[in-house]
Structure 1
Amino acid sequence: MTLLEIERKFSWKPANFRTLMSNRGCPRFMSAPIVQSKSFRDIYYDSNNKLSSNGLWVRKRLHYGPYASTSTTNAGVWEAKQAMPGSSFTHSTYEETQDTNRILQMISKYIPRCLGREDHFGLKELCQFETFRRSFLADHKFTVVLDETDFGHSTGEVELLAEDAERAHADIDAFLNRYEWFFDCSKPKGKLTAYFEKYPPSK
């Protein structure tokens, strides 16, 4: 079976990060988080919302140095995420790929005769923004991602790679409930939603 990326989104407050790092929350994680950091710029593409309305997100990710936000970027890596049946905003199941041939197949499902990657698959730029990301492995199993954008939004995800989406979602829910002193799952808001609330698209 294909490994799927299972995610649940949450909100978090940067002011609580010190408590997280010192592992002084109640209850504590099994071990103190070992955090990795990086910065990148995402450029999202679409065509009259034909992709996003079908749960497909296509972007080019340009990586920076480990902590710098003004370093010279590389040429970027194309990525696509296709929401699977039954997926929701808070409990997400995706097929995710960086294979440009597979990305072309995904796009062609909704936009026949789309162009190649050299022509941005014939898509138009939707938006772009920079993210400073911290991530760590919690309780030897769960990847925790903490993002802060250059337009002032903080959000996070807990991720698992699994074949059984239903079981993985149940495991993530139990994990988040255990450490609810840090993870706020009441009203998570994704980066794209927050971006367009701040910068509404021109009509």
Structure 2
Amino acid sequence: MNVFRLQTHRRIVLSAVDMEVQEGGGSSSAGTKGEGGDVAGGGEGASGPRDHNNKPSGVIEVERKFSFSEGSEEKLRKAGAVCKEESSFHDVYFDTEEFVLTLADHWLRKREGRWELKCPPASRDRASLVEQYVELQHEADILKQLAAILNVRAGSVDELVRRASCEPFCNFQTDRKTYTLEGGFKIDLDQTDFGFRVGEIELICQKQDDVPEALRKIDALAEKLGFVSKTKIPGKMSAFLKTFREKHYDALVKGGLLTPIT
């Protein structure tokens, strides 16, 4: 079951998040976005441990989202892509009551019992349809980044979450097919338990200087495969918030738990 915790004193923050999601979950100059922003990132390069996809902690993920259909996998196979893995995982996202992390474009989640933090790199192109994030999985890196945002210090992420009063605000299950393609490309096709489907073309960069070339390569592949959209495709979190609002918006406003958007 998806969970979205609401309390009366969250009204203003929820309205800001909902308005951003309604606009497509893309970038904004204020940094209050579905999954985008411009706050200095962190990490210790590529020296940290790796996740289940064998990806080092602290690297820069450069990815372009796309909407996929029944014919998308056939296009991938014809281009030479190989399905390397099919997996399912459960994400639980955490934040303070004021959504301090979300509004700073920091995404703290527990994926299958392991803490992960996605945050922006030191700089990125706001106009690009390709997203860029630093993904941290090493506990020391996550603690350092969270301490700077929440002004709380602790010896473990579990302790910091308790001390900062961070609590789950949504959770969902994702079924994923992962394809790889020559040139270092990874293409994920995700289907969530709330009915949202999204694909991602991803390249991993070890340093910021490599990002522009990665952006060019991803755009070229998206064009070749026909996975191009003129607008930014929302991420799963943006879609979850939008789905929740559409299903429960009137009842929440009537109950005084959500400020109407005008």
Q: Taking structure 1 as the reference length, what is the TM-score of the superposition?
A: 0.80
Summarize the Cα distance change of 1:120–1:136 in structure 2 as closer, same or farther, 3 Å threshold: farther
Please name the residue that 2:62 is paired with: 6
> Structure 1 CA distance, aligned partners of 2:105 and 2:201?
19
Summarize the Cα distance change of 1:175–1:199 in structure 2 as closer, same or farther, 3 Å threshold: same
Structure (1 or 2) with the greater helix fraction: 2
Q: Match for 2:157 among 90, 97, 117?
A: 117
Please name the residue that 1:86 is paired with: 124
Q: Which amino acid aligns with 1:40?
A: F
SS of residue in 1 equivalent to 2:100:
coil
Please name the residue that 2:15 is paired with: none
Q: Which amino acid aligns with 1:117?
A: V
Summarize the Cα distance change of 1:32–1:109 in structure 2 as closer, same or farther, 3 Å threshold: closer
SS of residue in 1 equivalent to 2:229:
coil
SS of residue in 2 equivalent to 1:148:
strand
- Asked whether the 8 Å contact 2:81–2:182 carries over to 1, the reply is no
Write the deviation string for residues 57-93 of structure 1: whole angstroms up to 9, x where unpaired.
110001xxxxxxxxxxxxx110011112225483222
How many residues of Structure 1 are paired with residues of Structure 2 in the alignment?
Answer: 181
Q: Match for 2:169 among 115, 126, 130?
A: 126
Residue 101 (1) aligns with residue 140 (2): yes
> Structure 1 CA distance, aligned partners of 2:73 and 2:66?
18
More displaced 10-residue stretch of structure 1: 93-102 or 36-45: 93-102
> Structure 2 CA distance, aligned partners of 1:18 and 1:81?
27
> Structure 1 CA distance, aligned partners of 2:125 and 2:157?
27
- Asked whether the 8 Å contact 1:10–1:155 carries over to 2, the reply is yes
- Asked whether the 8 Å contact 2:75–2:225 carries over to 1, the reply is no
Write the deviation string for residues 161-194 of structure 1: whole angstroms up to 9, x where unpaired.
12311111111111111111xx243341211111
> Structure 2 CA distance, aligned partners of 1:150 and 1:41?
10
Q: Which amino acid aligns with 1:5?
A: E
Q: Taking structure 2 as the reference length, what is the TM-score of the superposition?
A: 0.63
SS of residue in 2 equivalent to 1:158:
strand
Please name the residue that 1:194 is paired with: 239
Identity of aligned residues (%): 28
The offset of 1:127, in angstroms, is 0.5
The offset of 1:140, in angstroms, is 4.1
Point out where structure 2 has 5 or more consecutive residues left out of the alignment. 1-43, 46-58, 246-251
Please name the residue that 1:58 is paired with: 108
Q: Which amino acid aligns with 2:102?
A: S
- Asked whether the 8 Å contact 1:20–1:33 carries over to 2, the reply is no
Summarize the Cα distance change of 1:165–1:80 in structure 2 as closer, same or farther, 3 Å threshold: same
Summarize the Cα distance change of 1:53–1:186 in structure 2 as closer, same or farther, 3 Å threshold: same
- Asked whether the 8 Å contact 1:10–1:186 carries over to 2, the reply is no
- Asked whether the 8 Å contact 2:179–2:187 carries over to 1, the reply is yes
> Structure 2 CA distance, aligned partners of 1:104 and 1:35?
32
Structure (1 or 2) with the greater strand fraction: 1
TM alignment of 1:98-177, pairs within 5 A = 98-115=137-154, 116-119=156-159, 121=161, 122=164, 123-162=166-205, 163=207, 164-177=210-223
> Structure 2 CA distance, aligned partners of 1:113 and 1:137?
40
